[in-house]
Amino acid sequence: MNKNYAVSTHNNDSFDLWDPFFQDFFDFPREIRRNDLMKADVREDEKQYHIDVDLPSIKKENIKIELNDGYLTIHAEEYHQDDEKKNGKYIRRERFTGKFSRSFYVGEDVQENDITANLADGVLTLNINKVEPKKEEKKYISIN
């Protein structure tokens, strides 16, 4: 594993016997871990596309869904505010805290009313109606 991407698991410079073990097997590039936060399955039937996104423990009010220029973007926030003094010193923290998002291209002809969303049991399900692309009429310029 490329050590340039290793993320520190503690805040002090003291020797930690477990640190090399954890770095070798469990530290991944920050980019990979963030992309893994929103695992998704995309499927289709005759009338719709369906996107199932895993968002465990994220509350409905911490999720925003935006449609812009043909891209459907899901924004989510997760914050774990544990009191280290009360609960003990963390040796390792793997639960993500912060904001993250994921985008899917659905086409520029899809409108907000073509999409429904439901959050149940930690899975956000988006149903997107298939929309026929608008046919552009060729316009000719008259010659004088």
Q: Please report whether residue 16 resides in a domain.
A: no
Q: How far apart are CA 8 and CA 19, in angstroms?
A: 9
CATH code where residue 122 lies: 2.60.40.790
Helices (H), 1-144: 19-26, 30-35, 84-87
Domain that holds residue 92: 39-129
Residues 29-49 have a mean pLDDT of 75
127 or 139, higher pLDDT: 127
The answer to whether residue 34 sits within a structural domain is no
Which position has the higher pLDDT, 31 or 62? 62
Q: Residue 72 is encoded by which pair of tokens?
A: 């459907």
Characterize the bridge pairing of strands 63-68 and 115-120.
Answer: unpaired
pLDDT score recorded for residue 107: 92
Residue range 67-110, pLDDT digits in tens:
999 999 999 998 777 666 677 787 787 777 788 899 999 999 99
Examine residue 29 and state whether it is found in any structural domain, yes or no: no
Please indicate, yes or no, if residue 81 is contained in any of the structural domains. Answer: yes
- With a CB cutoff of 8 Å and minimum separation 6, the contacts of 118 are 124, 125
Q: How many domains does the chain have?
A: 1
Residue 12 lies in a domain: no
- What pLDDT does residue 84 have? 62
For residue 27, tell me if it sits in a domain: no
Query: Which carries the bigger pLDDT value, residue 72 or residue 6?
Result: 72
